[in-house]
Amino acid sequence: MKTSILVALVLTVAYAAVIGLSNSGAETAAEGYWRKNRNVIAAYATAPPKPVVFAGSSLTAAVSFRGFESCISNLGLIGESALTGLDVVAARTPLPRKVFVEVNFPERESNTALINSARSYLARHFPDFVYLSPVSYLAQSAGGLV
């Protein structure tokens, strides 16, 4: 019994070390966009409601609303459809008085996986946390040796 507890402890520490090393790796562009979009959705969901919302893709995300932050929310999501932003707006109460929609990629569907990830505890409380699985880390490390 003592041996199994010791083995479990050693494996847990080794796994934590691999996780810690894997988070020091470079984040890909796609992972960075996912994290940024997740944080935009999480921030919208936790911020006080505003009367005007802009929903769209990277074009909307690039628009600056400096000076109007108290009355405008920007749900510009890089590489995503405006439908994702509209789903986020529709799920929140009270609804804004006006919603402006960028119709750049109307054929893309809403990304429910992104919306669900923005509701997670980590997204809401630790927005800069990046998880890279140990297998991915080992594959990246091995790829650098080849």
User: Cα angle at 88 between 87 and 94, to 5 degrees?
Assistant: 110
**47-71 average pLDDT score:** 94
| Sign of the alpha-carbon dihedral angle for 20, 21, 26, 30 | negative
Residue 62: the pLDDT is: 94
Cα–Cα distance measured from residue 76 to residue 10, given in angstroms and rounded to the nearest whole number: 45
| Whole-structure pTM value | 0.69
> What type of residue sits at position 85?
G
pLDDT digits (tens, 9 = 90+) for 77-95: 999 989 999 999 999 999 9
Query: How sure is the predictor about 146, in pLDDT bands with cuts at 50, 70 and 90?
Result: very low
Do the Cβ atoms of 65 and 18 come closer than 8 Å?
no
Do the Cβ atoms of 108 and 80 come closer than 8 Å?
yes
- Cα 94 to chain centroid distance, Å, stands at 23
Domains of the chain, by residue range, sit at 28-125
Cα–Cα distance measured from residue 115 to residue 124, given in angstroms and rounded to the nearest whole number: 12
Is the per-residue pLDDT at 6 higher than 60? yes
DSSP structure class, residue 69? T
